[in-house]
Amino acid sequence: MAMKKKSPPAKAKSAGKRPSVASKGIKRVYFFGNGKAEGSADMKDLLGGKGANLADMTKVPLPVPPGFTITTETCGEYNDAKGKLPKGLMEEVRFNVAKIEKASAKTFGDVNNPLLVACRSGAKVSMPGMMDTVLNIGLNDAVVEGLSKLTGNPRFAYDSYRRLINMFGDTVKGCDHEHFEHELSAVKKARGVALDTDLNADDLKEVVARYKKVYEHHVGEAFPQDGFTQLEESIEAVFRSWMGDRAIKYRELNDIRGLRGTAVNVQSMVYGNMGDDSATGVAFTRNPSTGENIFYGEFLVNAQGEDVVAGIRTPLDCNTEMGKWSQKSWKELLAVKKTLEARYKDVQDFEFTIERGKLYMLQTRNGKRTAAAAVRIAVDFTKEKLIDETTAILRVDPASLDQLLHPTFDPKAIKNVLTRGLPASPGAAVGAIAFTAEEAERRVGAGEKIILVRRETEPADIGGMHVSEGILTSTGGMTSHAAVVARGMGTPCVAGAGGVQIDVKNRLVKIGDKTFGPTHIISINGGTGEVMEGSVPTVEASLTGPFAQIMKWADKYRTLKVRTNGDTPTDAKVARNFGAEGIGLCRTEHMFFDPERIHNMREMILATTIEARKAALAKLLPYQREDFLGIFKEMKGLPVTIRLLDPPLHEFLPHNEKDQAELAKSLNLSPEQVKNRVAQLHEANPMLGHRGDRLAITYPEILEMQVRAIIEAAIEAKKAGIKVLPEIMIPLVGTKKELDFLKKYTVETAEAVFKEKKTRVEYLYGTMIEVPRAAITAGEIAETAEFFSFGTNDLTQMTFGYSRDDVNSFLPDYLKHEILERDPFQSLDITGVGQLVKWAVDNGRKTNKDLKCGICGEHGGDPASVEFCHNVGLNYVSCSPYRVPIARLAAAHAAIKSSGKGKGYSLK
Ligand code: PEP
Ligand code: MG
């Protein structure tokens, strides 16, 4: 834990004539001090998080040095006016400085009894990318002498002054810290000392003189001696920093939007560096890494916060050391922990200073924590009756649960990040580089651990993907084949890492100026998108007791069901363990890639007569039946939606001449015949091509084989005493007539099997809604479909007209310019695609009020999309097995929020 910078002060010339309360109408400054405050804890929008909490802590009352907060709205005004402070603001500031003077019995600019202040930023959400603090405002050549006499500590006074010149010069005037540092080093060298603390008062006087020269040289004017000039310029610098590159980038990266600006907090200085009875520190009320209920803090005796940042001294652990230093302070801090948690009902991260034995609170805020800690803290706070169950549920960010579900890299490990791609499927993976899926399978078979590195993957790679530790692609977006399949498998994946150049022919990967071959080990972090050199150590994830407890509570409140997208009995099992309540999408194409099966599949595709095609399909039937039976058994009576074949047929055929020749030989065909068929199946845009229900319309015998396999497996399961609820789902439908056409074949096949087996099973016939036309004509389609499942991957692709696989070539620009707020393939575009979903649900249910509606696109595991699904009345969401807990918690959040209980609660 790093300690942060600390509190405030001020200087010279007197406050002058007492100004009256500022400009008419708008109140821009809120005072706090001596147990009273104009602001309150619920004014974070206007006063920022820090300002609102300083006001609130003052009222508790906790010992907060007096001060005031300038509103975030004022920052907005300043930036709107292209960098002009609103008229009347400085009068209001002077009026409030006078109030601090009264509360502290010190005077700003008074040589004999000076008030010094700090000036700090404070947005609504904590933003480490914002401006640094300016401390000791109010010091000048005369006041420093007064302070020296008053404290009897000239060293302290001159040290404070040189810090002000440095901080003001650097932060406010942009004169690089290095220039000051250079002078400090020169004085240390001249005195023959190594540490700043070894410099005496005279040395520091010399440092001050040198700093002033540096300032003058770089800024082009003398260091301002007027305290109000210092203060005004510091306030402006905070406002300016809101639009600085660092802050803009931070907001962009952290998805912080819609804020007007930062507040400014001006507060009377207190000093932790006044001697051995003074100290400064930071603490969390509980361990933010594990959630354990123990005080978690560090402090430094006779120090200011920056000393820690500068790494001069190592802070001490409060638990073991503070009692030895001062029993009184330690007891006070433990009492503060209790008070803060009782007041804010959450773990607090706070800063404190002890000045000559007296404790001061400088700030408090909700402490950032890991997912494991969030879960434990939420459960413990509920048990301690500080919060109720619904609040506990809302305290845990559903997306953060990912951290608990996959192994992670050891945070203490040293890593060399080579490049970054999209964090497509979370988790940590380490392995040697393989260039093809086939190579991956072979080498894993021989006992190696592999990272599959491809430009992009395709369905034929599934075997190699399955055995690999992780997948790295150089193109493709968050719903590219690699990303979707990897998430489904729970395999870590970094997709679209443009910095990775792959030379499959020579089996080389170039990243930056380094080149790697098949024997090299790399590590990928699917949660951050990092690609690292060598083997970075990992730690196993464990599902702890509090995690189970939170999920139990979530299930109590949610109304949306959560299913999983799964293609194998293993997927089904994993998902069941995570609480899945059915399978929402079984993509049958993944079942055809086993070496034996792919051969039969290819035979089917290359067949020139219907008889030959049926013969090949007959060979595939037993495999399909086995797979379905395995899934039915695992799902133990829960609904299973099976989607009939979707991808275009060319994806199942080999594309290189050697493999084509081998295939031709094994099927007694000429290589030309195979080549011609591949060419015939080639499509310029296969995503809009001969796929989905279009295949079944051309080749109904494929549908017949799959329906037969489903019904036979269901009957077999029934005979074994297992309840089954198959749902036969037709992909990519655009018109009711397509669905009617295929229903005839489906019903005929099912009836034929019932007759043969002399028994019946219930099944549903439904469709995916993936084509905008299907959504628009949902009322008609619901006359035939018994359920809808929204395939929002394709629906997004077709609504926007963005190719799922190529979107990453331009999406980053769209996000950068905020043309799109987020990747619509990750988080459902509510205003566009979402309206098609809503329209289809509403109109489908006008036709059939009991129409079962779910979603099976990737959005089913995205918390914001899950909330939308709840609000439009879907029955379930379906997502990859590893996202099931996330969706369960997100569904609970949605239910609690829509019932009004979680009103106003935000995780940010
Ligand atoms: C979809 O389009 O949302 C879907 C689930 O199908 P797939 O991703 O297999 O195209
Ligand atoms: Mg689809």
Least confident of 236-245, 408-417, 478-487: 478-487
Nearest CA to ligand 1 atom 4: 791
Least confident of 128-137, 346-355, 529-538: 128-137
Question: In 736-799, which ranges are E strands?
Answer: 764-769, 787-790
* Residue 800 CA, ligand 2 centroid: distance in Å: 15
| Phi, psi angle pair for 812, to nearest 5° | -55, -35
* Strand 450-454 to 428-434 pairing: parallel
Distance linking the first and last C-alpha atoms of the chain: 21
Nearest CA to ligand 1 atom 1: 791
For 202-225, write each residue's pLDDT tens digit.
Answer: 999 999 999 999 999 999 999 999
Report the residue among 588, 794, 798, 837 best suited for mutation to probe ligand 1: largest number of ligand atoms under 8 A from its CB.
794
Report the residue among 589, 829, 856 best suited for mutation to probe ligand 1: largest number of ligand atoms under 8 A from its CB.
856
Q: Burial of 253 by CB count in 10 Å (0-12 exposed, 13-18 middle, 19+ buried)? A: exposed
* Residue 647 CA, ligand 1 centroid: distance in Å: 10
- b/e per residue 777-812 (b: at least 16 CB within 10 A): bbbbbbebbbbbbbbbbbbbbbbbebebbebbeebe
What ligand has the least distance to the C-alpha of 485? Answer: 1
* Residue 492 CA, ligand 2 centroid: distance in Å: 22
The residues with which 658 forms a beta bridge, in sequence order, are none
Q: Mean pLDDT, to the nearest integer, of 47-51?
A: 95
Q: Could you identify the atom of ligand 1 that is nearest to the CA of residue 484?
A: 8
Query: Rounded to whole angstroms, what are the CA distances from 338 to 50, 148, 335, 380, 787?
Result: 20, 38, 5, 14, 53
For 759-800, write each residue's pLDDT tens digit.
Answer: 999 999 999 999 999 999 999 999 999 999 999 999 999 999
Query: Is residue 14 pLDDT above 50, yes or no?
Result: no
Report the residue among 479, 732, 770 best suited for mutation to probe ligand 1: largest number of ligand atoms under 8 A from its CB.
770
Question: In 661-778, which ranges are E strands?
Answer: 725-730, 764-769
Nearest CA to ligand 1 atom 9: 587
Identify the residues whose C-beta falls under 6 Å from ligand 1.
484, 585, 587, 646, 770, 791-794, 856-857
Query: Is residue 9 pLDDT above 60, yes or no?
Result: no
Q: What one-letter code names the amino acid at 644?
A: L
* Residue 870 CA, ligand 2 centroid: distance in Å: 21
Q: Give the model's confidence band at 24: pLDDT under 50 very low, under 70 low, under 90 confident, else very high.
A: low
For 251-270, write each residue's pLDDT tens digit.
Answer: 876 778 889 999 999 999 99
* Residue 807 CA, ligand 1 centroid: distance in Å: 16
Query: Rounded to whole angstroms, what are the CA distances from 275 to 156, 211, 342, 356, 358?
Result: 9, 25, 33, 7, 12
Query: Is residue 19 pLDDT above 70, yes or no?
Result: no
Q: Could you identify the atom of ligand 1 that is nearest to the CA of residue 857?
A: 3
Q: Could you identify the atom of ligand 1 that is nearest to the CA of residue 792?
A: 3
Of 356, 350, 349, residue with least CA distance to 301: 356
Q: Burial of 19 by CB count in 10 Å (0-12 exposed, 13-18 middle, 19+ buried)? A: middle
Q: Mean pLDDT, to the nearest integer, of 537-557?
A: 85
What ligand has the least distance to the C-alpha of 799? Answer: 1
Q: What is the pLDDT of residue 307?
A: 60
What ligand has the least distance to the C-alpha of 856? Answer: 1
Q: Is the dihedral of CA 301, 303, 307, 308 positive or negative?
A: positive
* Residue 504 CA, ligand 2 centroid: distance in Å: 29
Rounded to 10°, the helix 671-681/595-606 angle is: 80
Query: Is residue 905 pLDDT above 90, yes or no?
Result: no
Q: What one-letter code names the amino acid at 632?
A: F
Q: What is the pLDDT of residue 908?
A: 36
What ligand has the least distance to the C-alpha of 858? Answer: 1
Do 643 and 686 form a contact (C-beta atoms < 8 A)? Answer: no
Give the whole-angstrom CA distance, residue 363 versus residue 6: 9
Do 378 and 550 form a contact (C-beta atoms < 8 A)? Answer: yes
Q: What one-letter code names the amino acid at 388?
A: D
Element (H, E) at 531: strand 530-533
How many C-beta atoms surround the C-beta of residue 84 within 10 A?
Answer: 12
Give the whole-angstrom CA distance, residue 766 versus residue 643: 9
Residue that the structure tokens 């393989």 belong to: 434
Q: Mean pLDDT, to the nearest integer, of 106-129?
A: 90
Q: What is the pLDDT of residue 882?
A: 87
Q: Could you identify the atom of ligand 1 that is nearest to the CA of residue 858?
A: 3
Q: What is the pLDDT of residue 59?
A: 96
Report the residue among 591, 788, 793, 865 best suited for mutation to probe ligand 1: largest number of ligand atoms under 8 A from its CB.
793
Q: Could you identify the atom of ligand 1 that is nearest to the CA of residue 479?
A: 8
Q: Burial of 760 by CB count in 10 Å (0-12 exposed, 13-18 middle, 19+ buried)? A: middle
What ligand has the least distance to the C-alpha of 480? Answer: 1
Do 598 and 652 form a contact (C-beta atoms < 8 A)? Answer: yes
Nearest CA to ligand 1 atom 6: 791
Q: Could you identify the atom of ligand 1 that is nearest to the CA of residue 791?
A: 3
For 395-434, write each residue's pLDDT tens digit.
Answer: 999 998 987 887 788 888 889 999 999 888 878 999 999 9
In this structure, what token pair is assigned to residue 307? 């000393």
The residues with which 420 forms a beta bridge, in sequence order, are 530
Least confident of 191-195, 768-772, 828-832: 191-195
Least confident of 80-94, 132-146, 481-495, 617-631: 481-495
Nearest CA to ligand 1 atom 10: 794
**DSSP state, residue 328:** H
How many C-beta atoms surround the C-beta of residue 190 within 10 A?
Answer: 10
Report the residue among 585, 798, 804 best suited for mutation to probe ligand 1: largest number of ligand atoms under 8 A from its CB.
585
Is residue 493 flagged as an active site residue? no
Q: What is the pLDDT of residue 400?
A: 86
How many C-beta atoms surround the C-beta of residue 552 within 10 A?
Answer: 12
Q: Mean pLDDT, to the nearest integer, of 530-552?
A: 86
User: Mean pLDDT score of the chain, rounded to an integer?
Assistant: 91
Do 420 and 531 form a contact (C-beta atoms < 8 A)? Answer: yes
* Residue 888 CA, ligand 2 centroid: distance in Å: 23
- b/e per residue 120-148 (b: at least 16 CB within 10 A): bbbbbebbebbbbbbbbbbbbebbbebbb
Q: Could you identify the atom of ligand 1 that is nearest to the CA of residue 770?
A: 2
Is residue 856 flagged as an active site residue? yes
The residues with which 531 forms a beta bridge, in sequence order, are 419, 524
State the number of CA atoms in the 13 A half-sphere of 104 facing the CB: 29
* Residue 583 CA, ligand 1 centroid: distance in Å: 14
Do 764 and 728 form a contact (C-beta atoms < 8 A)? Answer: yes
Higher pLDDT, 693 or 466: 693
Query: Rounded to whole angstroms, what are the CA distances from 363 to 6, 49, 74, 135, 316?
Result: 9, 9, 21, 15, 20
Q: What is the pLDDT of residue 309?
A: 47
Q: Mean pLDDT, to the nearest integer, of 159-165?
A: 95
CB neighbours of 203 closer than 8 A, spacing ≥ 6? 187, 191
Q: Burial of 213 by CB count in 10 Å (0-12 exposed, 13-18 middle, 19+ buried)? A: middle
Whole-angstrom Cα Rg for the chain: 33
Residue from 179, 406, 466, 481 carrying the catalytic annotation? 481
Do 696 and 742 form a contact (C-beta atoms < 8 A)? Answer: yes
| Phi, psi angle pair for 419, to nearest 5° | -165, 175
For 811-828, write each residue's pLDDT tens digit.
Answer: 989 988 889 989 999 999
How many C-beta atoms surround the C-beta of residue 681 within 10 A?
Answer: 17
Q: What is the pLDDT of residue 907?
A: 40
Do 419 and 499 form a contact (C-beta atoms < 8 A)? Answer: yes
Q: Mean pLDDT, to the nearest integer, of 630-641?
A: 96
Query: Is residue 11 pLDDT above 70, yes or no?
Result: no
Query: Rounded to whole angstroms, what are the CA distances from 158 to 9, 138, 805?
Result: 14, 13, 63
Nearest CA to ligand 1 atom 3: 791
Q: Is the dihedral of CA 218, 222, 227, 233 positive or negative?
A: negative
Q: What is the pLDDT of residue 629?
A: 97
Q: Mean pLDDT, to the nearest integer, of 443-449?
A: 93
Q: Could you identify the atom of ligand 1 that is nearest to the CA of residue 797?
A: 2
Say whether 281 sits in a helix, a strand or coil: strand
Helices (H) and strands (E) in the chain, counts: 34, 34
* Residue 887 CA, ligand 1 centroid: distance in Å: 18
Query: Is residue 541 pLDDT above 70, yes or no?
Result: no
**Cis ω before 398 (30° cut-off from 0):** no
Q: What is the pLDDT of residue 20?
A: 41
Residue from 119, 175, 586, 856 carrying the catalytic annotation? 856
| Phi, psi angle pair for 88, to nearest 5° | 90, -15
What ligand has the least distance to the C-alpha of 488? Answer: 1
Report the residue among 586, 646, 825 best suited for mutation to probe ligand 1: largest number of ligand atoms under 8 A from its CB.
646
Query: Rounded to whole angstroms, what are the CA distances from 209 to 153, 157, 206, 213, 223?
Result: 19, 14, 5, 7, 11
Higher pLDDT, 161 or 305: 161
Give the whole-angstrom CA distance, residue 345 versus residue 364: 13
In this structure, what token pair is assigned to residue 185? 């080093």
How many C-beta atoms surround the C-beta of residue 672 within 10 A?
Answer: 11
Q: What is the pLDDT of residue 286?
A: 94
* Residue 736 CA, ligand 1 centroid: distance in Å: 20
CB neighbours of 378 closer than 8 A, spacing ≥ 6? 387, 391, 392, 393, 395, 396, 546, 550
* Residue 601 CA, ligand 1 centroid: distance in Å: 21
Higher pLDDT, 127 or 762: 762
Q: Could you identify the atom of ligand 1 that is nearest to the CA of residue 790?
A: 3
Query: Is residue 304 pLDDT above 80, yes or no?
Result: no
Q: What is the pLDDT of residue 698?
A: 97
Q: Mean pLDDT, to the nearest integer, of 892-903?
A: 85
Nearest CA to ligand 1 atom 8: 793
Query: Who surrounds ion ligand 2 at CB < 5 A?
Result: 770, 791, 794
Q: What is the pLDDT of residue 161?
A: 96
CB neighbours of 223 closer than 8 A, spacing ≥ 6? 165, 168, 169, 211, 212, 215, 216
Q: Could you identify the atom of ligand 1 that is nearest to the CA of residue 856?
A: 5
* Residue 791 CA, ligand 1 centroid: distance in Å: 5
Q: What is the pLDDT of residue 303?
A: 83
What ligand has the least distance to the C-alpha of 587? Answer: 1
